[in-house]
């Protein structure tokens, strides 16, 4: 049955990632028993015994039980209805709502609220919560606490009787309140047994909460909701979203659980082989040794909040422990002996650091609740050893990244406290009626004395979700003193990095020092941007480097602090030069509850610091040829600078000479992507305040009343002093644009990447990237899919909307190697670029509601209609090796090497269940699947909230047809296709044009592209990277291909005119390592031998056959040692000679399935 389970799991993992995974697999010992395993995320996680290790095995006689039959029926008909988190989430939210009502009533109840502030109310309710849970799971008699509450005739009886109960729960012994003997709970929770005095209504609220089913509480979300319920400032957020458990598991599994499960599979395999060889004691020892190691692990969340990451990790480790004990039981080992010896996974292994004292207390309690839930789920009515709760002090209430000797209030030279605006409080301006900062709302500026790096407790794994605070908000959120102390203490972390990167840096440093096995952290999805990526790159470039083992660059998330929907990145890292898995969210849809259901695309290979697999564009360098001609626009730092045309006229525009130079046309990103706002901007650059007041008094008063109050609170003294000017006037950009009739602009963050000419009279906003070039050739090259592929690979994402891409001028433009075309090629590209720019502007002028976003949405849909997503059997999503050549994905290679004769049809059943007979290579179950909330497998090409219905070949909607007609989009499409081909020809890469021109993804990312397109795009990236390196080498020799020589090179140094098609790419080839033939150490221990062979199979780039060159053990194992693994294609014959294979029926089995 173990082999059958391994075989079924391998079949499930061999399915294309676009189809998802079945939520259940069932193994069958015909006529004896069924074993049921579940994986409700359907994203490639581990299949675990369902509903738990005690009850997952269904014997033939058990089928007489109606509940068992109902469970099996639901597995086939409605599998996701059995997901326990769906049931527990509703119960949990209901309980939290009742507790919030009680907490609110207690805090507002007259005299008692003075005696019982929020902290005391929270502590009281925590004791109530655990007592309710204890009676429901059987730690105290069923309904004992509830009946005590119901028995009070006089509310005055409540406090003394409940205090007596809690005193006895603390020490153990007979309780007169409930007339029962109690276990000793201890643990600190009941050390203070004090109870509040409640009135009748409050007791009734407590009774309502006690009547809930506390066994079904989901600790992973209860912690967040409880924190909101007990905190008066956060209680209004109780109905807000919380972080779904599935999101948490998406990080916890690769960060902690998957490497442990890989070890467990090796230990099981070794034990099975030893037991078959008659070495029973060694088989037991192999399992016991792994269990002892598991119970000694320590997992740290250094920003644990209310503990949901720690709880989810705890539950998965308890599930794994349940499987271990189940195997030991099958081997004849008594489970209870291990418990008596104290060898078990328990809360002392789960460490946390949290600054919020209430959250820290909740985290500790929730971990214990989760642990005890699992204890009774796995062991029935057996009580845990006393004391039930132990005070491990594993959750520390302190700062995780900064420690200090003391904090002082900063004082000025007169000794008065230095204060600043609190950053939150506003008032109404008496003249304008607009909100402005309230200068009276002040807070002290603090100084941290003796700052140092905070120490982390020893741990094997780190996992967590540090706070989302960007560098721009750090001072406002944490205070100037803290921000300065942090940067003083961590000079190696760039000042531009987000706060979360200090956690990443600490974890990476500990891993490289050998103090961590692996770590996984949630960050903002700006991780890929240069200011955060530098932290990753630093640790990946060391002699003992960090490798990313898993990454999701852009994923939906729910911020636990306020329930806000945000976008995040996930990364898991460990020491060594190791491959990783990249998961990309390709579609999302509302889940009908918390969070969003996502469809994931997986790719394997070397993960780079930009969270990409394939060509390492992060290694490209800036080119002098592209420098000093691109810049973002101006930053206003005051909304009062923007005026309507009517307001501008009232200020004197058209009436006062010279004002037309200071009230100008203004464009931001939305003006380009959507419809222009038709606003102007007051630009007083070049004038001092006196000149403004003398020449333009109306403008002076306008800015004085609408801009100055806001800038008066700005932290930068220059902005406060120059309040009539923009926060960033950008004189460099003004100089670049001077004397140009027009310039090229693109939106920094946008779904579609397009470029356009803007007139020189238009002042651009800072969210536009502006390129000081006037020639149409440059516009054409930038508008091509060649540049788009480069920009998309080098850019990041701010995650404002799903699929938004960011154009970082340093990474996307200044590194881009332009072609060196022939004159006729240059003229052709310029002509097509002008036609495209004129076409769009003409159609928008004729149809004012027409937007470029709408136009390019339709254009991309037309391309996808002509090139629909291919069937999963064709769409292999080829991965790319370091040199850019496409190969089969590691996932496919592993599946092929493990399962030589397993086909995808054999692995998938319409019912969503993979079912394997333990006696046959494969047997699939068939069953009807009526409509449910989400069927498995999902239909290919199903519509999603992204608008990826485009991929199905669906016709244009009526709205899209209107856009198509108004924008003449098919005409625009032909112009873009011709431009793309012309640019490819200018590079001399016509072979790529044949494979890419006209395909989807020319102006916006398309993650569902077929394998041949992925391969062609990776080849394009590699050629551009090679050309970047060639140009950089040329520039080292003084040969620079200036884009605007009269501005960039006024001294007149002439570049070599050799074209890139004539010049040899004089770049040293990367040293090739034949990993297939490298010698590998042959370990002594059987589990380690299993691990070595599995690693060899996993590294193999395709199906494993005797003809391939296998890794050669540094010490050739004996034939008998190899034969026991039942590997038919291991390249030694029975006499130990290479090239042979083992024969016999057992050749159906592979090491990975044993």
* pLDDT (average), residues 1085-1111: 62
What residues contact residue 1071 under an 8 Å CB cut-off, 6+ apart? none
User: Count of alpha carbons within 13 Å of 359, Cβ hemisphere only?
Assistant: 21
Quote the pLDDT of residue 290: 95
Quote the pLDDT of residue 91: 67
Three-state SS at 343: coil
* pLDDT (average), residues 929-942: 32
Peptide bond into 51 cis (omega under 30): yes
Quote the pLDDT of residue 909: 34
Quote the pLDDT of residue 712: 87
The dihedrals phi and psi of 452, each to the nearest 5 degrees, come to -155, 165
* pLDDT (average), residues 756-782: 97
Look up residue 550 and give its two tokens. 């898993």
Among 50, 114, 56, CA closest to 82: 50
542 with 609: CB under 8 angstroms?
Answer: no
Cα→Cα distances 945→587, 673, 722, 949, Å = 7, 20, 46, 9
CB-count burial class (<10 Å; 0-12, 13-18, 19+) for 346: buried
* pLDDT over 90, % of the chain: 48
* pLDDT (average), residues 324-347: 74
The dihedrals phi and psi of 1009, each to the nearest 5 degrees, come to -70, 150
Q: Is the pLDDT of residue 931 over 50?
A: no
Look up residue 1017 and give its two tokens. 């795009």
653 with 660: CB under 8 angstroms?
Answer: yes
Look up residue 154 and give its two tokens. 């006089």
The Cα 420–Cα 928 span in angstroms is 67
Q: Is the pLDDT of residue 293 over 90?
A: yes
Neighbours of 443 (CB within 10 A): 14
The Cα 741–Cα 763 span in angstroms is 13
DSSP 955: P
pLDDT per residue over 110-169, tens digit each?
Answer: 444 455 566 777 788 889 989 999 999 999 998 999 999 999 989 999 999 999 999 999
* pLDDT (average), residues 586-600: 74
Residues shown for the chain: 1154
pLDDT per residue over 422-456, tens digit each?
Answer: 777 888 888 777 788 787 888 888 899 999 999 99
Q: Is the pLDDT of residue 108 over 90?
A: no
pLDDT per residue over 876-893, tens digit each?
Answer: 333 333 333 333 333 333
* pLDDT over 70, % of the chain: 78
Detail the DSSP E strand segments found in 633-741: 642-643, 663-667, 680-682
The Cα 600–Cα 343 span in angstroms is 38
Candidate from 63-77, 579-593, 895-909 with smallest mean pLDDT: 895-909
Q: Is the pLDDT of residue 663 over 90?
A: yes
Q: Is the pLDDT of residue 480 over 60?
A: yes
Neighbours of 89 (CB within 10 A): 23
Higher-scoring residue by pLDDT: 424, 850: 850
Cα→Cα distances 4→35, 254, 772, 918, 1128, Å = 10, 24, 65, 5, 18
Cα→Cα distances 258→202, 250, 1026, Å = 47, 11, 37
The Cα 590–Cα 568 span in angstroms is 17
At 473, the pLDDT band (50, 70, 90 cuts) reads: confident
DSSP 15: S
Quote the pLDDT of residue 1100: 55
* pLDDT (average), residues 669-684: 93
Q: Is the pLDDT of residue 923 over 90?
A: no
* Adjacent-strand bridge partners of 449: 406
The Cα 485–Cα 506 span in angstroms is 16
* pLDDT (average), residues 707-713: 88
The Cα 77–Cα 833 span in angstroms is 56
* pLDDT (average), residues 376-386: 82
Higher-scoring residue by pLDDT: 350, 675: 350
Candidate from 226-235, 273-282, 417-426, 976-985 with smallest mean pLDDT: 226-235
pLDDT per residue over 330-339, tens digit each?
Answer: 888 765 455 5
Quote the pLDDT of residue 112: 47
Higher-scoring residue by pLDDT: 1154, 511: 511
Higher-scoring residue by pLDDT: 228, 1079: 228
Average predicted confidence (pLDDT) for the chain = 81
Highest mean pLDDT among 511-520, 798-807, 859-868: 511-520
Q: Which residue has the tokens 């873009």?
A: 976
What residues contact residue 814 under an 8 Å CB cut-off, 6+ apart? 622, 623, 626, 627, 630
Angle at 776 between CA 771 and CA 780, to 5 degrees: 85
* pLDDT (average), residues 987-1016: 88
Q: Is the pLDDT of residue 1120 over 60?
A: no
Quote the pLDDT of residue 353: 97
At 24, the pLDDT band (50, 70, 90 cuts) reads: very high
DSSP 809: I
The model's pTM:
0.68
Q: Is the pLDDT of residue 51 over 80?
A: yes
DSSP 233-288: TTGGGTTS----HHHHHHHHIIIIIHHHHHHHHHHHHHHHHHHHTT-HHHHHHHHH
Quote the pLDDT of residue 1077: 43
913 with 26: CB under 8 angstroms?
Answer: yes
Candidate from 485-489, 637-641, 869-873, 1003-1007 with smallest mean pLDDT: 869-873
The dihedrals phi and psi of 529, each to the nearest 5 degrees, come to -75, 155
Look up residue 832 and give its two tokens. 């097509």
pLDDT per residue over 610-626, tens digit each?
Answer: 888 878 787 788 999 99
Higher-scoring residue by pLDDT: 322, 921: 322
496 with 547: CB under 8 angstroms?
Answer: no
The Cα 999–Cα 864 span in angstroms is 7
772 with 633: CB under 8 angstroms?
Answer: no
Detail the DSSP E strand segments found in 731-813: 742-747, 749-750, 756-759, 763-764, 768-771, 805-806
Higher-scoring residue by pLDDT: 855, 602: 855
Quote the pLDDT of residue 115: 56
The Cα 577–Cα 545 span in angstroms is 7
The Cα 732–Cα 424 span in angstroms is 34
Look up residue 574 and give its two tokens. 């460990």
Q: Tell me the pairing of strands 350-354 and 395-397.
A: parallel
pLDDT per residue over 781-803, tens digit each?
Answer: 999 999 999 998 888 654 434 45
* Adjacent-strand bridge partners of 461: 299, 518
Q: Is the pLDDT of residue 232 over 70?
A: no
Look up residue 887 and give its two tokens. 């190969």
pLDDT per residue over 948-975, tens digit each?
Answer: 444 445 789 999 999 999 999 999 999 9
Quote the pLDDT of residue 12: 85
- Distance between alpha carbon 298 and the CA centroid of its chain, in Å? 23
CA-based R_g, the chain, Å = 33
Q: Is the pLDDT of residue 870 over 90?
A: no
Neighbours of 1120 (CB within 10 A): 9
Quote the pLDDT of residue 875: 37
407 with 446: CB under 8 angstroms?
Answer: yes
Q: Tell me the pairing of strands 426-428 and 435-437.
A: antiparallel
Quote the pLDDT of residue 236: 46
The dihedrals phi and psi of 146, each to the nearest 5 degrees, come to -60, -45
Look up residue 681 and give its two tokens. 């901007």
């Amino acid at each position: 049955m173990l082999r059958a389970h391994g075989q079924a799991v391998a079949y499930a993992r061999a399915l294309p990632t676009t189809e998802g995974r079945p939520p259940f697999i069932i193994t069958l010992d015909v006529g004896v028993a069924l074993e049921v395993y579940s994986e409700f995320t359907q994203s490639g996680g581990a299949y675990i015994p369902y509903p738990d290790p005690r009850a997952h095995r269904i014997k033939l006689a058990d089928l007489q039980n109606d509940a068992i039959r109902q469970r099996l029926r639901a597995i086939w008909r409605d599998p996701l209805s059995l997901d326990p988190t769906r049931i527990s989430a509703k119960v949990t939210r209901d309980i939290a709502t009742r507790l919030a009502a009680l907490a609110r009533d207690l805090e507002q109840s007259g005299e008692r609220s003075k005696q019982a502030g929020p902290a005391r109310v929270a502590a009281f309710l925590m004791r109530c919560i655990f007592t309710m849970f204890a009676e429901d799971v059987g730690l105290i008699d069923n309904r004992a606490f509830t009946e005590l509450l119901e028995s009070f005739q006089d509310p005055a009886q409540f406090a003394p009787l409940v205090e007596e109960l809690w005193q006895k729960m603390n020490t153990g012994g007979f309780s007169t309140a409930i007339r029962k003997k109690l276990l000793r709970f201890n643990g600190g929770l009941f050390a203070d047994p004090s109870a509040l005095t409640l009135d009748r209504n409050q007791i009734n609220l407590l009774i309502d909460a006690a009547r809930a089913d506390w066994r079904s509480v989901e600790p992973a979300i209860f912690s967040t909701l409880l924190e909101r319920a007990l905190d008066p400032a956060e209680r209004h957020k109780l109905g807000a979203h919380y972080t779904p458990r599935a999101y948490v598991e998406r990080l916890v599994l690769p960060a902690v659980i998957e490497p442990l499960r890989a070890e467990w599979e090796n230990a099981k395999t070794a034990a099975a082989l030893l037991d078959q060889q008659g070495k029973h004691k060694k088989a037991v020892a192999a399992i016991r040794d792994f269990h002892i190691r598991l119970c000694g692990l320590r997992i740290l969340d250094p920003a644990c909040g209310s503990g949901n990451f720690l709880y989810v990790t705890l539950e998965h480790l308890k599930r794994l422990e349940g499987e271990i004990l189940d195997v030991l039981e099958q081997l004849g080992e008594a489970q209870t002996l291990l418990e008596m010896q104290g060898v078990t996974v328990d809360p002392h292994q789960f460490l946390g650091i949290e600054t919020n004292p209430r959250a820290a207390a909740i985290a500790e309690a929730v971990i214990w609740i989760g642990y005890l839930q699992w204890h009774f789920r796995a062991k029935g009515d057996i009580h845990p050893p006393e004391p039930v709760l132990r005070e491990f002090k594993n959750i520390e209430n302190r700062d995780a990244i900064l420690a200090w000797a003391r904090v002082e209030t900063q004082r000025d030279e007169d000794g008065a406290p230095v204060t600043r605006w609190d950053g939150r409080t506003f008032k109404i301006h008496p003249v304008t009626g607009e909100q402005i900062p309230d200068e009276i709302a002040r807070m002290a500026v603090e100084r941290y004395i003796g700052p140092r790096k905070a120490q982390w407790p020893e741990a094997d794994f780190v996992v967590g979700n540090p706070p989302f605070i960007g560098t721009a908000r750090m001072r406002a959120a944490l205070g100037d003193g803290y921000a300065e102390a942090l940067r003083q203490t961590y000079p190696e972390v760039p000042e531009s990095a987000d706060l979360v990167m200090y956690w990443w840096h600490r974890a990476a440093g500990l891993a490289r020092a050998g103090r961590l096995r692996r770590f996984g952290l949630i960050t903002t999805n700006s991780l890929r941007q240069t200011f955060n990526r530098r932290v990753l790159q630093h640790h990946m470039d060391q002699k003992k480097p960090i490798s990313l083992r898993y990454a999701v660059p852009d994923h939906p998330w729910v911020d636990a602090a306020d329930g806000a929907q945000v976008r995040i990145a996930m990364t898991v890292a460990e020491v060594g030069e190791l491959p990783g898995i990249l998961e990309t969210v390709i579609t999302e849809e509302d889940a009908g509850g918390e969070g969003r259901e996502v469809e994931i695309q997986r790719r394997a290979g070397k993960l780079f610091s930009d969270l990409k697999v394939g060509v390492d564009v992060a290694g490209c360098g800036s080119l002098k040829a592209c420098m000093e001609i691109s810049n973002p626009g101006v930053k206003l730092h005051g909304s009062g600078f923007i005026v309507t045309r009517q307001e501008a006229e009232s200020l004197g525009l058209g009436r006062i000479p010279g004002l037309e130079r200071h009230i100008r046309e203004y464009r931001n990103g939305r003006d380009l992507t959507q419809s222009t706002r038709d606003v102007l901007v007051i630009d007083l650059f070049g004038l001092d305040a006196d000149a403004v007041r003398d020449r333009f008094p109306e403008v002076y008063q306008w800015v004085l009343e609408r801009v100055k109050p806001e800038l008066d609170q700005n932290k930068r003294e220059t902005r406060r002093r120059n309040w009539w000017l923009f926060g960033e006037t950008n004189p460099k950009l003004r100089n670049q644009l001077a004397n140009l009739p027009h310039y090229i602009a693109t939106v920094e963050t946008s779904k579609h990447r397009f470029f356009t000419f803007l007139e020189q009279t238009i002042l651009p906003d800072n969210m536009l990237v502006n390129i000081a070039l006037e020639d149409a050739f440059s516009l054409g090259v930038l508008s091509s899919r060649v540049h788009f592929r480069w920009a998309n690979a080098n850019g990041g994402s701010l995650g404002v909307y799903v699929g938004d891409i960011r154009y970082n001028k340093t990474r996307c433009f200044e590194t881009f190697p332009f072609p060196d075309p022939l004159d006729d090629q240059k003229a052709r590209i310029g002509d097509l670029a002008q036609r495209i720019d004129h076409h769009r502007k003409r159609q928008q002028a004729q149809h004012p509601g027409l937007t470029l976003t709408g136009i390019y949405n339709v254009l991309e849909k037309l391309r996808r209609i002509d090139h629909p997503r291919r069937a999963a059997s064709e769409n292999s999503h080829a991965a790319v090796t370091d040199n850019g050549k496409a190969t089969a994905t590691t996932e496919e290679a592993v599946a092929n090497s493990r399962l030589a004769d397993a086909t995808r049809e054999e692995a998938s059943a319409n019912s969503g269940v993979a079912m394997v007979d333990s006696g046959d290579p494969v047997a699939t179950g068939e069953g009807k699947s009526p409509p449910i909330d989400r069927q498995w497998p999902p239909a290919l090409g199903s519509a999603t909230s992204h608008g990826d219905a485009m991929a199905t070949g669906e016709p244009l909607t009526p709205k899209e047809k209107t856009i198509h007609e108004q924008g003449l989009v098919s005409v625009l499409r032909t112009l873009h296709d011709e431009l793309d081909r012309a640019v490819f020809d200018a590079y001399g890469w016509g072979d790529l044009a044949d494979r890419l021109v006209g395909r989807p993804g020319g102006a916006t990312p398309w993650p569902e592209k077929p394998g041949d397109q992925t391969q062609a795009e990776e080849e394009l990236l590699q050629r551009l990277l090679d050309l970047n390196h060639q140009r950089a080498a040329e520039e080292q020799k003084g040969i620079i291909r200036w884009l605007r020589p009269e501005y960039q090179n006024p001294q007149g140094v002439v570049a070599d005119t050799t074209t890139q098609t004539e010049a040899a790419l004089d770049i040293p080839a990367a040293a090739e390592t034949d990993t297939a033939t490298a010698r590998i150490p042959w370990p002594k221990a059987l589990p380690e031998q299993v691990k070595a062979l599995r690693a060899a199979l996993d590294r193999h780039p395709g199906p494993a056959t005797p003809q391939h060159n296998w890794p050669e053990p540094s010490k050739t194992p004996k034939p008998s040692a190899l034969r026991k693994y039942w590997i038919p294609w291991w390249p030694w014959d029975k006499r130990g000679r290479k090239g042979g294979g083992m024969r016999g029926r057992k050749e159906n089995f592979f090491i990975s399935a044993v």
